[in-house]
Amino acid sequence: MLNKIKPLPSAIKQYLVITGNYWAFTLTDGALRMLILLHFYQLGYAPLALAMLFVFYEVFGVITNLVGGWLGARIGLNKTMNIGLFMQVFALLMLAMPSDYLTVIYLMTAQALSGIAKDLNKMSAKSSIKLLVVDVSASERQGKLFKWVALLTGSKNTLKGVGFFLGGFLLTTIGFQGAVLLMAAILALVAIISVVLLKNDFGKATFKPKFKDIFSTNSSLNFLSAARLCLFAARDVWFVIALPVYLASQLNWSHQKIGIFFALWIIAYGVVQAYAPVLFNRKEKTTKINGRLIAIWSSVLAMITLALLVSLHFSQQIEIVLTFGLFVFGGVFAINSSLHSYLIVSMAKEDGVSMDVGFYYTANALGRLLGTILSGFLYQSFNSSENGLFACLLVSFLLATGAAFFIKRV
């Protein structure tokens, strides 16, 4: 293995280190979300209260993406990556306190640090891809760039699914405090290795961007960002709070079963993302990836959501329809997400790439924030859990339609 890595160009070696960091971080991030969701639901937290635990995570993710892209262009992606790793270690250690100290405000603060850490990590990893695919012809660029973006994003989501399973498993076996301490120790080791291996100037812009430059003036990038916001809100409006609470309260699923289901869903989602280029980059014909193509796939996602909503209303086999429908939703969503991720990296300026990528993922974080709040609010606002889930799916349909509307204008 080492003999194969040594001859590789320096930029690719750096990319491999960043990818390894991203994978390690993703495992802890997925496990932590499931740990918090299941542990505090077990302690009696209502759906809206559970949603509020993640609000700071998403709010600070918005701020981090906006500022982090500017910061990465000024100080280098290596530093933003390492800062994110150490911040996640600190956030995990905060959660290892005795239960009496884990008030809502304290938990929200720890989640805020975790949200900053996660988006520094993601922005650094996604931005680095643009620096990797440079010495290729224009005809090869789409294929190579799409392949690398899809591989990174797909593998990340597959590992996040493993993290969901890991969170449910650790909660059952060693408890909440033991789980966060174990993850903190492992991630601290990864962070130390990262400090040693990452070069000091990786991803630093040749110019010093001004703070006002964090806001995009590119109309296509703005429409793409608006579509991303709607796309991820369409997922999280049912995925974050409504679905796991519904599975636990109405279908009587155990914590471990919920963890396994979410793990399998995210793993399948990640596999589809990773293999999405096969659908569009063929030897005999390469499909041009643009706003019109993605608008078609966003419309398909909206129709699937509507079909799931109607099927649940009339079906007597709710558990079967729900689980099957959500896997179909996940597959189409994965293709949409993969196409989106390619297009932003393709559109971003090479010098100071993290500026455009950071702005775009600000919209991504806003979508997650909106979806998280709506998921808890809608689910709790209706008298029955069934109506709450239907409301979440209806809003998901409207948001997916909005994603198709905006992306068509890119």
- Domain regions of the chain by residue span: 10-204+211-407
Instruction: Output the six-digit token pair for 188.
Output: 């601290």
Instruction: Give, in order, the Cα–Cα distances in Å from 385 to each of 32, 234, 368.
Output: 25, 19, 22
CB of 218 within 8 A of CB of 357? no
Tell me how far apart the alpha carbons of residues 356 and 345 are, in angstroms, rounded to a whole number.
Answer: 8
pLDDT at residue 298, as a whole number: 96
pLDDT tops 60 at residue 5:
no
| Average pLDDT estimate for 188-195 | 91
HSE of 148, CA atoms in CB hemisphere, 13 A: 21
pLDDT at residue 305, as a whole number: 95
Q: Which of 285, 70, 279, 37 is nearest to 154 (CA)?
A: 279
pLDDT tops 80 at residue 283:
no
Instruction: Output the six-digit token pair for 53.
Output: 């635990």
pLDDT at residue 404, as a whole number: 96
pLDDT at residue 372, as a whole number: 86
pLDDT at residue 386, as a whole number: 66
pLDDT at residue 102, as a whole number: 80
**Can you list the pairs that 137-143 forms with residues at least 24 positions away whose Cβ atoms lie under 8 Å?**
141/346, 142/281, 142/286, 142/288, 142/289, 142/342, 142/346, 143/277, 143/281, 143/286
pTM, 2 dp:
0.80
CB of 58 within 8 A of CB of 101? no
Query: For 133-215, where are the alpha helices, taking DSSP H only?
Result: 138-173, 175-197
pLDDT tops 70 at residue 10:
no
Helix (H, G, I), strand (E, B) or coil at 375: helix
CB of 258 within 8 A of CB of 153? no
- The CATH number of 10-204+211-407, from 1.10.150.530, 1.20.1250.20, 1.10.10.10, 3.40.630.10, is 1.20.1250.20
pLDDT tops 60 at residue 383:
no
Q: What is the percentage of the chain residues whose pLDDT exceeds 90?
A: 24
pLDDT band at 254 (very low <50, low <70, confident <90, very high): confident
- Average pLDDT along the chain: 83
pLDDT band at 205 (very low <50, low <70, confident <90, very high): low
